Amino acid sequence: MDRNAKIYVAGHKGLVGSAIVRNLKKRGYKNIITRTHGELDLKNQKAVEEFWREEEPEYVYLAAAKVGGILANDQYPADFIYENLMIQNNVIKAAHDFNAKKLLFLGSTCIYPKNAPQPIKEEYLLSGFLEPTNEAYAIAKIAGLEMCKFFKRQYGDNFISCMPTNLYGPYDNFDLKSSHVLPALIRKFHEAKEEGKPSVEVWGTGTPLREFLHVDDMADACIFLMENYNGEEHVNIGTGEEVSIKQLAETVKEIIGYKGQLLFNSDKPDGTPRKLTDITKLHELGWKHSINLKEGIEDSYKWFKENY
């Protein structure tokens, strides 16, 4: 990409989009276009078309999405499938209609079957049943990456997709009703320490295994793919390293300095038992993560204390 190319980052206020904007600016890209939800409702096709007609972005990072943890996904499945389908349909179609040079669609590793072989290769997509608690979100994301593939196949559009693993870092969502596990743990342990609570409840048994990628590493990988990848198949983005929820909770507890007890509530859902991405393809392309988990959690906690 030319340093003066017009780049649109959809969802720039969120965890993912804000990291992409930070990374682009660090690399010297100066012509970055953004719109808040109040300025542009991506669910509105006419509004999206008008925005494209006005700005004509050359490169697009589609990071806008309705996201949430197990609780939110389970309670509001209709909202998750409808809003995500509308957002991605409108943006992808506009990028095609107005001849964008390239688009990168960001999905999530929840698109893979619940019991997919581990580590999860890209080709395992659509090979089994999805995890029921986030099925609506997963179906929307699968539709988005397939849409990019089919626009590339039928029209020759340079639309690519990537599937990041569990992300965390600055601008994360720390709302306990809708957050993912890591930011929820950071907030729970911080508040328990501040209030002198004797224990902290963690959902589930603590046995599920998860992979976590700092959002700044994810942004670096996205820009790497935009500059170096043009394939039809989506690409996993992750660390290739996993940790149990129990180990994660103990690490967060240690970093925050909380001295109380950990209580695991096995009446709450565990979600997928294991979810580790196979990142062979990304490594072969020439990219590898650089932020380890402990360092990343320390960075995330620092941002939480300063901003939340």
In a domain, 266, yes or no: no
Residue pLDDT tens, the chain, 308 long: 889 999 999 999 999 999 999 999 999 999 999 999 999 999 999 999 999 999 999 999 999 998 877 777 888 999 999 999 999 999 999 999 999 999 999 998 889 998 899 999 999 999 999 988 889 999 999 999 999 999 999 999 999 999 999 999 999 989 887 778 999 999 999 999 999 999 999 989 999 999 999 999 999 999 999 999 999 999 999 999 999 999 999 999 999 999 999 999 999 888 778 889 999 999 999 999 999 999 999 999 999 999 98
The rounded distance, in Å, linking the Cα atoms of 20 and 15 is: 9
Token digits for 275? 């979810």
In a domain, 303, yes or no: no
CATH code of the domain containing 233? 3.40.50.720
Contacts of 134 (CB under 8 A, 6+ apart): 70, 73, 74, 80, 110, 271
The DSSP output letter for 260 is S
In a domain, 201, yes or no: no
Cα end-to-end distance, the chain, whole Å? 35
260 labelled as ligand-binding?
no
Number of domains in the chain: 1
The DSSP output letter for 163 is E
The rounded distance, in Å, linking the Cα atoms of 85 and 239 is: 28
**What is the rounded (10 degree) CA torsion for 46, 60, 230, 274?**
-100
112 assigned to active site? no
158 labelled as ligand-binding?
no
167 labelled as ligand-binding?
yes
In a domain, 197, yes or no: no
In a domain, 258, yes or no: no
In a domain, 144, yes or no: yes
Contacts of 236 (CB under 8 A, 6+ apart): 109, 120, 121, 122, 162, 163, 165, 277, 278, 279, 281, 282
The catalytically annotated residue of 137, 168, 171, 301 is 137
Q: Which domain holds residue 137?
A: 7-169+212-239+275-291
The rounded distance, in Å, linking the Cα atoms of 50 and 247 is: 49
- Report pTM: 0.92
Token digits for 294? 């402990």
In a domain, 194, yes or no: no
Provide Rg for the chain, Cα atoms: 19
- For residue 112, give the amino acid letter: Y
In a domain, 268, yes or no: no
